[in-house]
Structure 1
């Protein structure tokens, strides 16, 4: 079996950007290689054309190009031509692409195409209750309708995407993102920085960062020792037009809370695990995800996680068993859950242990790689 992935991100020093989507693709790609599958990654919108090898995976960087007219069309055709050439040379059997803004909308490939619901613009706009650009919807729908089959990382994401675009339910298969569990071991779960809350993710409105500021204000009032660490890229705020969402968030912190906040910006992925291990509690009050890689990474490292109660998160956490689920807009309850954990080390240990067990049974990439492989074969 030979599989190709088309993506705009992947964790590698030569690739411009990598976040949760890129991590999920790499976890799967490396697991497939270890099972004898030939894997090729096509990363578009890059600074150069290049081919690199990493952990048995062949990565093709496709340079971003501009055209005098209709760049949105001609660049997609450029990607199509490049991918088809490699597909033919390597005799790749099947391709996978993301749904975001429909990169495959005008492409015709020589092998079947599976689209994974990493999260379309339409999906996020629906969850955030904001208007989508009509062009993006058209591109995404065109891309999706041309695909042979679909994979959803959660059943929630699959159902919502199916409803938005009117897709055939029978062509959608739920397969979670996964982790290489040996890379997420915490041999000293009882050692961490007391009273430290950790948030990892882009500083953007849809991730619930404005609500997080209000939540932390309440936590600090009751527990003056509490600290909040934020890790992730700052982002443009679509609602206000501000170039920095963090500046807006910062303005919401009380004077007392502001002294207890550390914003580290983007940190190397290799350092993220240590930040998670050092945290007392991990908080992800997001309004819009398809799954959320950092949640399962934190659970694997035996951290008590307080997530959102919205759809997808209910497939990750069993409330009050291996984490907590609270709607981001319920500021008081969210703060209460955090304080409960900060005040009870035994409860943190119990939930952290249960969280690890949940990841082992549900998000083991070795098991999930087999599921992906079986699904690719069924499409062929």
Structure 2
């Protein structure tokens, strides 16, 4: 089969990427290794179309339009033209993309268009209790109308998006995001630094940074040796001001020296920080299916997360991790201190977490499920 993924964030040098980019960097080379043709097509800040092949994956980046107001339409025109050219060179079987991928797609006969849901505009607007943008909502609904099929990275993201968009007749399976066992290896317990708490993610409100800092005030007083390290890019407000600088204002003077903002870490440094930490703390307010949690669990580290959306699809509370109310910093502090106080619990949580991820989130399993679904869609299209 020839599968084309629509994404602007395939992890090439200089490309900023999030969870979708990480997911593609795992799945695409695996599909190529199994003999499938894989192309990633996206827009980027390039002066002319760029095409490179990495690990058997052809990555095509075309210049994005910067024309105000109509840039979305211009960019879709470029994507449509590129897809038709790719199809002329080698027949496409499936085009896959996230929620807004097909708003203005010019569909090619015989090609299946698949949305893999990672959390779109409606989903996160509900989760973050913010106003739905009418233009983005229109694009997302139109994209679902144009899609032939829909799958999701969690049951939660599927069911909550259905509150706004009816795609029942197109609904396919839940296919989890895979774990990266190469980069996120089994951690050596001897390398854990006593009292080190670690968070990785965007430094912003929806990732629970405020709650983890408030919780740390309590943890530090009971466990004076603890230190909190936060890694990730800063969130900026519309006026350009820094979330990090704003959140520092709530840190009490006596613990300021124990809270460390590391900034953006190189990808290969993140596993080393996870390994060197005693506990990882990821108090997100909302996720579709958090890859960061899967990475921590892959390494067999004890961690505290939150009772949000897909948490119970990933974490068995009290068995493979501890879950707290995302808005209750007192409960979050209590869960952190529970692990710090109980060595046996710390070991048990880490071992169970890795065992669960090995069983349910391996790349081989996710690739098998994806290929089986692609094959079914292609067969249905042919019939």
Report the counterpart of residue 215 of structure 1 in structure 2: 215
Determine the C-alpha separation between the residues in 2 that align with 1:68 and 1:170.
Answer: 34
Task: Please tell me whether residue 335 in structure 1 is matched to residue 333 in structure 2.
Answer: yes
The 2-side partners of 1:47 and 1:210 are apart by: 37
Partners of 1:187 and 1:219 in 2: CA distance: 24
TM-score by length of 2: 0.94
Deviation of the 1:365 alpha carbon: 1.0
In 1, Cα distance between the equivalents of 2:34 and 2:23?
A: 17
Of 335-344 and 370-379, deviating more is: 335-344
**Equivalent in the alignment of 1:66:** 66
**Would you identify which runs of 4 or more consecutive aligned residues in structure 1 move more than 6 Å?**
none
Give RMSD over aligned pairs.
1.6
The corresponding residue for 2:44 is 45
1:56 is aligned to: 56
User: What is the Cα deviation at residue 63 of structure 1?
Assistant: 1.5
Please state how far the C-alpha of 1:330 moved relative to its aligned partner: 1.8
Q: How far, CA to CA, are the matches of 1:108 and 1:233 in structure 2?
A: 36
Q: Distance in 2 between matches of 1:260 and 1:321?
A: 30
* Other-structure match for 2:129: 129
For the 8 Å contact 2:183–2:268, the answer to whether it is kept is no
SS at match of 1:251: helix
Q: Is the 8 A contact 1:282 1:298 kept in 2?
A: yes
Query: Could you say what secondary structure the match of 1:376 adopts?
Result: helix
Partner Cα distance (1:145, 1:193) in 2: 51
1:222, CA displacement in angstroms?
1.3
Cross-structure match for 1:320: 318
The within-5 A match list for 1:29-108 is 29-48=28-47, 49-67=49-67, 70-99=70-99, 102-108=100-106
Greater CA drift, 41-50 or 70-79:
41-50
2: CA distance between counterparts of 1:169 and 1:213? Answer: 44
Aligned pair in 2 of structure 1 residues 68, 11: CA closer, same or farther (>3 Å)? closer
Structure 1 range deviating more: 341-350 or 267-276: 341-350
Q: Distance in 2 between matches of 1:90 and 1:75?
A: 22
**Would the aligned equivalents of 2:150 and 2:167 in 1 still touch at CA under 8 Å?**
no
Task: Work out whether residues 190 and 349 of structure 1, in 8 Å CA contact, stay in contact via their aligned partners in 2.
Answer: no
Moved more, 182-191 or 123-132: 182-191
**Would the aligned equivalents of 1:306 and 1:338 in 2 still touch at CA under 8 Å?**
yes
Structure 1 residues 68 and 121, CA gap change in structure 2 (3 angstroms): closer
Give the Å deviation of 1:19: 1.7
Structure 1: runs of 5+ lacking an equivalent: none
Output the TM-score relative to the length of structure 1.
Answer: 0.94
How far off is 1:184 after superposition? 2.6
